[in-house]
Structure 1
Amino acid sequence: MRGMARNAKLAALPVAYAGRQAAGVGKRTLGRSPAEINNDIQTRTAQHLFEVLGELKGCATKLGQLLSIFELALPPELADPYRTALAQLQDSVPVMLPETVRTAMADSMGESWQWHFEEFDDRRAAAASIGQVHRGVWRDGRPVAVKVMYPGAREAVLADLEQLRRISILATVFVPGADVKAVTEAICTCVRDELDYEAEALYQRRFAEAYADDPDFVVPRVLSQRGDTIVSEWLNGTPVSRIMESGAPEERSRVGLLILRFVLSAWTRSGLLYCDPHPGNFRVMPDGRLGVVDFGACLAWPVAGFDEWVGDMMDATFNGDAAQIDTAMRAHGFVAPGRPFDAEAVAEALTMVTEPLAQPTFRLTEDWMRRVVCHNVDLRLSNVNRQLTIPPWFTPFGRALLTALGVACRLGTDGAIRAEFTRYSPELAAVLERFDARRDQPTDLAVVRQLRTGRPVRRNSAVR
C-alpha cells in the first residue's frame, strides 16, 4: 500500500502540471500577461514537486539534491521556502532501529560480523540518500565509518526511477528543448549505479590511491566491502555546511576553491568523474585539508570527444563569432540536425556562463548563479534553450559542474577561479591564452562582447 501511495503522488505531478497549463490559457483571456502566468506555473510546479518529493523515500532525496540548482531560478523571496524544503528532504530519510541495523549487517557480512569490530555503535551517525552511516572501531583499532543500505532501498529506488521516467515531461519546465527521454535515462543510470556498493568501494579505492598523501585532499581508505555495507576509515572534520553558515570569508573561499579543484582534477588523476559534490560529502580536516566521502556517483571520464568539445566550444565563445558557435554546437550534438537556432543568443548566454573564466579572479555568488540559471530556464518562448538539446553524455558532467559551482557560490568563493579550470585542461588554457593576447587583459564583459563583434575596444573600458 505504501508503494502504491508513493506512485500515486508521483503520478499526480504531470496531471497537475497539465492542469496549470490549461488554467493559464483561461487566465490569458482574463488579461493576465503571459510572463506573469508562466512564472506562476513554474513556481507552483516547483513547489508541488518539492512537496511531493519530501513525502517520498527511495531516491527522492537524491532527486531533490539534483533539483536544488533550480531553486536559484526563483527570486530570493521565493527561494527561501524551497531551500527549507530541500533541507527537509535531506533530513527526512528514515532511521533504522538498532535491531534492523544488526540484521542488515548480518545479511551483508555474515552472522559473525561483530568479530570484525572492536566497537560498533548501532545508532546512526549520519544519513545518506539510500543508507546510513555508523561509527565503529575496526579489529586493528582504527576508527571506521560503516555505510549500511536501508533494507528495501534498492527496490524503492528502482520503482521511483520508473515513475521518474513517467513524469520526465516536467523537465520541459526548465529545459524545454532537451531530449527528455535520453537525459532522463542518463539521470536514471547515475542514480541506479549508486545502488552498487561493490562498484562504489572500487571507485573509492581508486580515489584513495590517486590522492594518497595529497597536501590538499583526504580520501578515506576502504577496509572492507561486503554486500550492502562499506567499511572505510573515519574522517574527523568540520562539515562544509557549517563552514557555509559561520566560516570566515577567507576560509569559505579557500574551501570553495578546494571543492572546485577536487572535481576538476578527479578525472585527470583517477580516470573518474566525481558526480556528486554535494556539501554533505565534504569535511574540512583539522590540518586544513578537504576530506571527501561518498563515491557512489562516479563514472569513467573523460568520454570520447570531451577534450575536443572543451577546445571547440571555449574557442568559439572567447575567440570566435556566432558562426563558429553554430559550428561547434552542431558538431557536438547540442542542436538537432537541420534545426535552426539563434547563435547570437547562445553567444550571449555563454558569455554570462563563462564570466568567471574571462578574468584572473572572480567572486562566485548566489546572485551570479541565479542570473545564469534564470537566463537559461526562462520560460519565454524566445529563450534560445528551446531550440537546443542536451546530449546524454553531457548530463553527468553538467550535474557535477553545476553542483560544484552551486556549492562554491553558496560559500561566496572569491579567488582565482580561472586557474582552477585551466590547471587541468590544456585545451582551455590555450584558448584563454589567445583570448588574453587579443584583449590585453580587459575584465569588462562589454569588452568581450565587443571583441566578438569585431569592433575596436576602447582602452578606458578595458579595466574596471
Structure 2
Amino acid sequence: MTDIPRRAAARTAKLASLPLGFAGRTVLGLGKRVTGMASDVISAEIQQRTAEQLFSVLGQLKGGAMKFGQALSVFEAALPDELAGPYRQALTKLQEAAPPLPVASVHKVLAAELGEDWRANFAEFDDVPAAAASIGQVHRAVWRSPPPGRGRKRVPDRTVAVKIQYPGAGDALLSDLKQLSRLAGMFRAIQPGMDVKPLITELRERITEELDYELEAETQRAFHAGYAGDPDIYVPEVVRATPRLLVTEWIDGTPLAAVIADGTQEERDEAGRLMAVLHFSAPRRCGLLHADPHPGNFRILPDGRLGVIDFGAVARLPDGLPEPVGRLLALALAGDADAVLAGLVEEGFVKPDDDHLDAPGLLEFLLPMLAPVVEEEFRFTRAWLRGEAVRLGSPKSPAYQLSRHLNLPPSYLLLHRVTMGSIGVLSQLEARARYRGIVEEWLPGFSA
C-alpha cells in the first residue's frame, strides 16, 4: 500500500470511529428524543464530550474533514456560553493548523510543477510550512527576479507565499466528506437545529474548483485588480500558478483570529467594518464573493487594511449581489409586509400555494434578523447570535415552525452560507460599525 491510500484509510478509520465513542453512543442512543433544546435531554457533560471528541479528530485531519471544520468554525459564536470555551479552542486550531507534508513530498510536488531545477526560481525556500490548510500548505520563500536584459531593469527579489497542494487531495476530500455526512446527528447534539448536510453537499460540489490552483490564481488576479489602490482592502499579487502550485506575494499582518482573541474593542470594530466592506463590495467590484470567511483567511496589515488570502472558494456573481435582496430588505424595514411576502414568493423562498403564512407574521419573523441594518450603528455579539440560534433552531420556537414553510432557492444557497459565515465572524469580533451605511452603498435595490 502506498502512502496516499494508507493515509486515506487512516482518515476513514478515524472518522468512522467517532459514533462509537462514549459521546457518540450516548447521543445516537437518544435519537428521536432530541426534539427540544439539547439541554433539555442531553447533559452539558455529554455535549462537551461530543464536541471534544469530534473536533479533536477533525483537527488531526487534512482533506474534507479539515475544510468542513474550518467552514463550521465561524459558527462557534452561536454556541451556549457554558459550552463555547472548549469548542472555541478546538475550532480555532482548525483555522490554521494541520500536520505538515514531509519535506521530500514538498520537493516532489515542486519538481513536478516547476521542473527538476525548481530551486532556480527561489533565492530562499523555507522547508518548514508557515501555515497548513485543508488541501495544501504554505511555505515562505523568496522568488528570484529574472536577470536584467535589454530594456529591462533589475527588480528586487520578492518574498512570496508558496501554496502546495497535498498529493491525493481530491480523493481525500471526497472520502472525508462522505464519512462526515454520517455524523450529522452528532452536530445536532452540540447545537440543536444545526443541519450540516447542506454544507457538506456544497463543499463536495465545489471540490473541482478548489483543486484547480490555476483557476484560483485567475480569481485572485480579479480581486487584486478590483481592489488596486483601495484604502480598506488589500489582495496579494499572483506571481506564478500551476495546477497544484500557487505563488503569491507574501503579506505580513495580525491574523484575524488574534484580533478576535486579544484585540482591543477599537481594533475589533474596525476589523468588523472591513469584513463587511469586503463582503458587500466585492460582487460589484470583482463580480465575485469571497466564499470562505473563516478568520484564517484574513490579516490586519500594519497600515490598517484588511489583507485577504485564499481564493479557492468563491461565488461567481457577474451581475453583483441580487437586486431582490436589497429591495426586499428595504421593504421589510419600511414595514410593507404584503410586498415582502409577494417578493419572497416571486424569488422562490415561499411556495405560491402555501396558505400557512400570513404577511404580518412573516415580517415579524424576519425583523429580528435584520437588526444590524435597522439602526445606524449595530454591535454584533455572541449573545445576539445565540439568541437568534435559539429562536430559529429550537423546534419548540414558533419561529422554527414558521421557518419550515420557507425554502432556500438553489441560486441563493452559497450566498446564504457565506453571509451566515461572515455574521459568525462579526459576532466573534463583537464588532460595532455603521453596517447600514455599508449596505446602502453596496447592496443593489436597498436605497432608491
Asked whether the two chains share a fold, i.e. TM above 0.5, the reply is: yes
The alpha-carbon deviation at position 422 of structure 1 amounts to: 1.3
The alpha-carbon deviation at position 53 of structure 1 amounts to: 2.6
Q: Distance in 2 between matches of 1:341 and 1:197?
A: 47
Matched, 1:251 2:267: yes
Alignment of 1:158-173 (within 5 A): 158-165=174-181
Q: Distance in 2 between matches of 1:8 and 1:379?
A: 34
After TM superposition, the structure 1 stretch with the greater mean CA deviation from structure 2, 414-423 or 390-399, is 390-399
Code of the aligned partner of 1:218: Y
Give unpaired runs (5+ residues) of structure 1: 431-464
2:363 to 344, 347, 362: 347
Alignment of 1:293-442 (within 5 A): 293-301=309-317, 306-312=322-328, 314-336=329-351, 338-343=353-358, 344-380=360-396, 382=398, 383=400, 384-430=402-448
- SS for the counterpart of 1:429 is coil
Q: Deviations over 1:6-38 (max 9, x none)?
A: 33554567898897466366799xxx9997127
Q: Over aligned residue pairs, what C-alpha RMSD do you find? A: 3.3
Partner residue of 1:133?
A: 138
Q: Distance in 2 between matches of 1:25 and 1:115?
A: 61
Partner residue of 2:30?
A: 23
Query: Residues 147 and 302 (structure 1 numbering): CA distance in 2 closer, same or farther, change over 3 Å?
Result: same
Code of the aligned partner of 1:333: G
Do the aligned residues in 1 keep the contact of 2:223 with 2:235 (CA within 8 Å)? yes
Q: Distance in 1 between matches of 2:341 and 2:257?
A: 41
Query: Residues 9 and 339 (structure 1 numbering): CA distance in 2 closer, same or farther, change over 3 Å?
Result: farther
Partner residue of 1:95?
A: 100
- SS for the counterpart of 1:409 is helix
The alpha-carbon deviation at position 5 of structure 1 amounts to: 5.0
Partner residue of 1:462?
A: none
Do the aligned residues in 1 keep the contact of 2:28 with 2:185 (CA within 8 Å)? no
Q: Distance in 2 between matches of 1:93 and 1:268?
A: 35
Q: Distance in 2 between matches of 1:222 and 1:193?
A: 17
- SS for the counterpart of 1:206 is helix
Partner residue of 1:60?
A: 65
Q: Distance in 2 between matches of 1:71 and 1:19?
A: 22
Q: Deviations over 1:95-148 (max 9, x none)?
A: 123222111211221111111111111111122222111111111111111111
Q: Distance in 2 between matches of 1:60 and 1:221?
A: 29
The alpha-carbon deviation at position 258 of structure 1 amounts to: 0.9
Matched, 1:84 2:89: yes
| Corresponding pairs, count | 425
Do the aligned residues in 2 keep the contact of 1:183 with 1:390 (CA within 8 Å)? no
Q: Distance in 1 between matches of 2:176 and 2:409?
A: 23
TM-score, length of structure 2 as denominator length: 0.83
The alpha-carbon deviation at position 149 of structure 1 amounts to: 1.2
Q: Distance in 2 between matches of 1:49 and 1:220?
A: 35
Do the aligned residues in 1 keep the contact of 2:288 with 2:315 (CA within 8 Å)? yes
Q: Identity over the aligned pairs, expressed in percent?
A: 40
Partner residue of 2:154?
A: none
TM-score, length of structure 1 as denominator length: 0.81
Matched, 1:242 2:275: no
After TM superposition, the structure 1 stretch with the greater mean CA deviation from structure 2, 373-382 or 257-266, is 373-382
Do the aligned residues in 2 keep the contact of 1:310 with 1:428 (CA within 8 Å)? yes
- SS for the counterpart of 1:427 is coil
After TM superposition, the structure 1 stretch with the greater mean CA deviation from structure 2, 203-212 or 403-412, is 403-412
- SS for the counterpart of 1:214 is coil
After TM superposition, the structure 1 stretch with the greater mean CA deviation from structure 2, 417-426 or 397-406, is 397-406
Give unpaired runs (5+ residues) of structure 2: 1-5, 146-156
Query: Residues 52 and 315 (structure 1 numbering): CA distance in 2 closer, same or farther, change over 3 Å?
Result: same
Alignment of 1:174-213 (within 5 A): 184-213=200-229
Q: Deviations over 1:399-445 (max 9, x none)?
A: 22222222222222222111111111241123xxxxxxxxxxxxxxx
Code of the aligned partner of 2:104: E
Q: Deviations over 1:141-178 (max 9, x none)?
A: 11111111122222101222333455567787779698
Partner residue of 1:225?
A: 241
Do the aligned residues in 2 keep the contact of 1:10 with 1:163 (CA within 8 Å)? yes
After TM superposition, the structure 1 stretch with the greater mean CA deviation from structure 2, 361-370 or 164-173, is 164-173
